[in-house]
Structure 1
């Protein structure tokens, strides 16, 4: 069920654009000046969201690395699951880049509308500098000053440092490791509380930002926003089909059986927009509908909900490349490598966060890694509720598909192991 706050934010977006277009048509200088003041409140709201990104990303990654590392120590099945999740996420990221760019080449945004939306959001095209050489990029992966990297919003070196810090924490004695995880979990929870506070003012913030866009771009901005929804939703919708195909092809599930088992899960995913809330239905579908071994189901599905979001890199990169398309930015190959790495890291770290919280914490770092401005996220967050429906259906489909693949591997492993009577002989 769509939350009332999300509906209010959508209404605020439409109202802000409409009022801004009216002010533009009126040409009244006093109205324009008043709209500029309100636009400043929108910028304040967006900056309040931005201020949580760096501490939230760092703390989430530290806790995420610790949870994955702890899980991997529990046995071969979990380790195989983590490796499979990693493979699927990286392939999904590459797929997202290719598909989004292909769709935008075939269905480009009108340049005048894009420039008007950018100007209305108070953003300007970034200065295009010479891309770094491979040697410069490689040397910059490890930040000489992590605090400086955070201050400059250099996300790739900051993510690298967070990963090293997280893995180093797993090598400490148990009591020290626990203290570090507890500390950064508390930091992430505090940041999430702040984000929740800021999002409560979302209708006001989005209204003020949309008002500024409407004054500059008029109703033409609405077309670009609809274009954004169509592209991102379309790219995300394919992931449900991809997960379905993976289950049938690599999970060796009969088409009819898998479709019948996963359909109730899709219904719950669409109504709750939560993979966690869909977990009981996924377990029932895997055990009873697909007849997967209970050991595999009980281990892999909760782990998948905790550390695996099949659609995360797809949806997040689709947003980033749509924004890059608006600005006319063409990320270099090295930017793409950094963007994929950050997208993978954020898909692990940001799992379990509410939709609008994860929207900012997951997409902003990827934009920064790609050299793409993030000012438009304050506008696009208002319509995230639509693509988010397909994020969840794709996630649950990928979770059950991964469990099907791991179940097949587990059966082969058990057959390959000598029976106890053979071993004693």
Structure 2
């Protein structure tokens, strides 16, 4: 929380300074750009260098961890299937609702041009590939070359196949390979932590450059982005309540009454992990066997982030819309798959770290620029509230649904 506010303050300070210098002396602001902007771009490049190893590590650890959890018994297996279904619905909702919201509440042309110019101008887009070209690009002839060329889609296909192969080898070998890629992911998280420790400096420089290029209109563009993202968060919360009602069978008034303590903790901490004790009490109030809740809820906190695909895809779709990139159905499908893998493999991390680790692979897989994420991470403080609210609602509803489907010993092998 403190780190997020520091990064946001750095962005605001950089933009205010840029606007002030541009107002007082346009020549001075233009002359200062070659000295200030490279600092931000250097920080951005440091973030970018972790993307390819992160994609590989997240996909493999996400798939193997999910497979291992599904083997842990009937209740755990049922819970994992519920998690997968729920986050798929969440991501699909976002792919439908984000373009609709952008159509209904568009950013003014001047503000859009200013924000786009400040975030890097126009994105380079080539001709859309045919469906045949798309199919041929799925299988890499050389996965190492695909990684070196940042050919993300074939790299994802190879990594996914490799991850499922790991789940079929002997337990000792599976543990060895899973541990290797888990260690790779953890090492990349440490690197990202180091890079984000310098975020106030990098974001200040990028904010200054954005204000010099875009002026006051950049503030309006960022506010529009935050409001769209928060709206998707509200949609995710509503979707969770509707699923609890129509699928789990809990009337909204009863569900919300039981969730009040959990929602209060979620708002104050913005952490699903910190909300776990309150979620256990809410589950008990909804009639969940405490022994079953003790199995499913920790598993949900570790694997299940209901709002993650929705919010992360909304960020990528917004950036694509801002830069005039038309996303094809198969690009959206690939983005959804990567978003699901990222949601399953993201551990409980500070919001600024999880923002980069979860969204950058999705953006790259969909052919959307990654550079804007360096500034958008600074305004994640407000949407993150809705991420946490939706996550705890999804955790408790999924726990109730999983527990109701298991009538015997929760650790048993058959439902």
The TM-score by the shorter chain falls in which range?
A: over 0.9
Report SS of the residue matched to 2:260.
helix
CA distance in 1, matches of 2:361, 2:54: 11
Query: Contact 1:269/1:275 (CA < 8 Å) preserved in 2?
Result: yes
CA distance in 1, matches of 2:335, 2:305: 17
1:190 corresponds in structure 2 to 187
Query: Contact 1:156/1:342 (CA < 8 Å) preserved in 2?
Result: no
Q: Cα 1:239–1:318, aligned 2, differ >3 Å: closer, same or farther?
A: same
2:286 corresponds in structure 1 to 290
Task: Kindly state the Cα deviation for residue 154 of structure 1 after the two structures are TM-superposed.
Answer: 2.9
Query: Contact 1:93/1:313 (CA < 8 Å) preserved in 2?
Result: yes
Cα-to-partner distance string for 1:117-174 (whole Å, 9 max, x where unaligned): 22223x2322332222222222322222222222333333222222222222222333
CA distance in 2, matches of 1:402, 1:334: 29
TM-score normalized by the length of structure 2: 0.94
2:23 corresponds in structure 1 to 25
CA distance in 1, matches of 2:305, 2:82: 12
Report SS of the residue matched to 1:286.
helix
TM-score normalized by the length of structure 1: 0.92
Task: Kindly state the Cα deviation for residue 5 of structure 1 after the two structures are TM-superposed.
Answer: 1.9
CA distance in 2, matches of 1:186, 1:58: 12
Report SS of the residue matched to 1:372.
coil
CA distance in 1, matches of 2:157, 2:83: 20
Q: Where do 5+ consecutive residues of structure 1 fail to align?
A: 419-425
The residue correspondences of 1:81-96 to structure 2 (distance < 5 A) are: 81-96=79-94
CA distance in 2, matches of 1:227, 1:191: 32
The residue correspondences of 1:206-245 to structure 2 (distance < 5 A) are: 206-245=203-242
User: 212-221 or 15-24: which moved more?
Assistant: 15-24
Task: Kindly state the Cα deviation for residue 398 of structure 1 after the two structures are TM-superposed.
Answer: 0.6
The residue correspondences of 1:26-175 to structure 2 (distance < 5 A) are: 26-121=24-119, 123-175=120-172
Query: Contact 1:36/1:212 (CA < 8 Å) preserved in 2?
Result: no
2:337 corresponds in structure 1 to 341
Task: Kindly state the Cα deviation for residue 101 of structure 1 after the two structures are TM-superposed.
Answer: 0.7
The answer to whether the aligner puts 1:374 opposite 2:370 as a matched pair is: yes
1:363 corresponds in structure 2 to 359
The answer to whether the aligner puts 1:391 opposite 2:404 as a matched pair is: no
Cα-to-partner distance string for 1:376-402 (whole Å, 9 max, x where unaligned): 111111000110111011001011111
CA distance in 1, matches of 2:86, 2:18: 44
CA distance in 1, matches of 2:114, 2:298: 45
The number of equivalent residue pairs is: 412
CA distance in 1, matches of 2:109, 2:324: 9
Aligned counterpart for 1:178 among listed residues 171, 175, 179? 175
Task: Kindly state the Cα deviation for residue 28 of structure 1 after the two structures are TM-superposed.
Answer: 4.6
Cα root mean square deviation, aligned: 2.1
User: 242-251 or 218-227: which moved more?
Assistant: 242-251
1:354 corresponds in structure 2 to 350
Q: Report the structure number with the largest CA radius of gyration.
A: 1
Cα-to-partner distance string for 1:77-97 (whole Å, 9 max, x where unaligned): 222222221111111111101
